[in-house]
C-alpha cells in the first residue's frame, strides 16, 4: 500500500480492519479514519476483542447496584455491544461489519500469556477471514493492559500470515512517544459525525462525558508499524526498584511460545550504567518477540505501569 505523508493512501481498494479492544475504542481512536476510508470508496470492518463488560463503576452508578455478578456483567456487555452497533451506523459502517471475539475484558494479557493456548491463531484466523490490506490497532505503548496486549496479539498473528498487510497503531491511553506520527486532517463535518457516534456510547458518557469528548476531539495520530524487530540488542526499558523485584516476573512471548521467569531468575544482564538486557536467545529475523514485566500482587489500579517492549 502506497504511503503519502506518513499515511497509507486511501482508495476504493482500501480494506480497513479496525481492531478495538472495547466498545468505544473504534470511535475515539479511528472515527475520522473510518469516515475517510468510506469517503474514498473503501470498506471497513471492526474486530471487537471484548464486550467491555468488566466496567463496574459506570454499571453500579447507572443500575443503582453495588454488587455485580456474572449475569449482570453479561447484561452490561450486551448493552455496550448495542451501543457499538449504533456508533458504527453513525460512522457509516453497517452493524454486520462487526466481528466479535468475546474475549474477557481486562483479560487479554492473561490470554496472551497462557501456555498452550490458541489465542494468536484465533487472531490470525479472524484477520484472514476478511483479508484486509490495512489494519488499525492499539499502540504497543498504550497504558491500558488490554490495548498493549492487543498490539502484541495482532503483531504475532500477522507474523503467521503469508501476505503483507499494512498496519498502523493508535494511542488512546497515555502520551505519544517521540517517534514519527501521521495525523488525519478531517474534512468539514467529519469531526461532528465522530462526536455524534461517541454519544451512542451512553454507558460510558454518563460518568466520563468530558473525558471521552476530550479524547475524541484530539487529533487522530497513527504510527506505521514495522513488521521487523527494532530492538535487536535486547535492551529492556525497565529499572525496577530492588524492593519490588521479588514480586515481578519477566515474560517473553513470540508466535509459538510464552516463557516466564521471576525477575531475580530471569536471563538478564546489567551493564555499567545500570541498564538491563535480555540475555536469552533473540532471533534477528522478521519474527517479532515481546517482553513484559508482570506484577504478581493484587492491584487496584487499571493502568499498566510497566507495559511491553519489543525484543
The pLDDT score that the predictor gives to residue 229 is 54
If you average pLDDT over every residue of the chain, what do you get? 90
Instruction: Tell me the pLDDT band of 311, cut-offs 50, 70 and 90.
Output: confident
Q: Does residue 205 have a pLDDT over 90? A: yes
Distance of CA 97 to the CA centre of its chain: 19
- For residues 8 and 190, the model is more confident at 190
Tell me how far apart the alpha carbons of residues 38 and 12 are, in angstroms, rounded to a whole number: 8
pLDDT tens-digit map of 161-178: 988 899 999 999 987 765
Mean pLDDT for the stretch of residues 21-28: 98
Instruction: Tell me the pLDDT band of 305, cut-offs 50, 70 and 90.
Output: confident
**For residue 276, which phi and psi values (nearest 5 degrees)?**
-105, 145
* 119-to-140, 155, 183 alpha-carbon distances in Å: 18, 12, 32
pLDDT tens-digit map of 251-274: 999 888 899 999 999 999 999 888
Q: Which residues contact 184 (CB under 8 A, 6 or more apart)?
A: 7, 32, 33, 36, 219, 220, 221, 222
**Rg of the Cα trace of the chain?**
20
pLDDT tens-digit map of 46-93: 999 999 999 999 999 999 999 999 999 999 999 999 999 999 999 999
All cell numbers assigned to 186: 478531517
Half-sphere exposure of 24 (CA within 13 A, CB side): 24
All cell numbers assigned to 35: 469516515
Sign of CA dihedral 93, 95, 97, 99: positive
Q: Which domains can be identified in the chain, with CATH numbers?
A: 3-224 (3.40.50.10320), 242-310 (no CATH)
Amino acid at each position: 500500500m502506497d504511503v503519502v505523508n506518513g499515511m497509507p493512501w486511501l482508495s476504493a481498494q482500501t480494506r480497513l480492519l479496525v481492531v478495538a479492544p472495547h466498545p468505544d475504542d473504534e470511535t475515539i481512536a479511528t472515527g475520522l479514519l473510518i469516515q475517510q476510508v468510506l469517503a474514498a470508496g473503501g470498506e471497513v470492518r471492526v474486530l471487537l476483542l471484548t464486550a467491555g463488560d468488566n466496567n463496574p463503576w459506570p454499571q453500579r452508578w447507572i443500575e443503582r447496584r453495588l454488587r455485580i455478578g456474572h449475569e449482570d456483567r453479561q447484561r452490561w456487555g450486551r448493552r455496550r455491544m448495542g451501543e457499538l452497533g449504533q456508533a458504527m451506523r453513525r460512522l457509516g459502517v453497517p452493524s454486520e461489519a462487526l466481528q466479535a471475539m468475546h474475549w474477557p475484558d481486562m483479560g487479554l494479557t492473561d490470554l496472551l500469556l497462557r501456555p498452550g493456548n490458541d489465542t494468536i491463531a484465533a487472531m490470525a484466523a479472524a484477520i484472514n477471514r476478511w483479508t484486509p490490506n490495512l489494519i488499525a490497532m492499539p499502540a504497543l505503548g498504550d497504558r491500558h493492559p488490554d490495548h498493549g496486549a492487543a498490539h502484541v496479539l495482532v503483531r504475532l498473528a500477522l507474523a503467521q500470515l503469508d501476505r503483507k498487510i499494512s498496519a498502523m497503531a493508535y494511542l488512546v491511553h497515555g502520551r505519544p512517544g517521540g517517534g514519527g506520527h501521521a495525523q488525519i486532517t478531517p474534512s468539514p463535518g467529519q469531526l461532528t459525525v465522530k462526536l455524534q457516534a461517541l454519544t451512542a456510547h451512553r454507558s460510558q458518557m454518563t460518568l466520563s462525558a468530558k473525558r471521552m469528548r476530550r479524547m475524541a476531539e484530539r487529533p487522530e495520530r497513527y504510527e506505521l508499524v514495522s513488521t521487523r524487530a527494532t530492538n535487536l540488542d535486547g535492551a529492556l526499558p525497565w529499572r525496577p526498584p530492588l524492593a519490588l523485584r521479588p514480586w515481578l516476573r519477566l515474560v517473553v512471548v513470540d508466535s509459538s511460545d510464552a516463557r516466564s521467569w521471576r525477575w531475580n531468575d530471569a536471563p538478564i544482564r546489567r551493564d555499567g550504567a545500570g541498564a538491563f538486557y535480555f540475555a536469552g536467545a533473540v532471533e534477528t529475523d522478521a519474527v517479532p518477540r515481546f517482553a513484559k514485566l508482570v506484577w504478581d500482587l493484587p492491584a487496584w489500579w487499571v493502568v499498566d505501569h510497566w507495559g511491553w517492549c519489543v525484543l
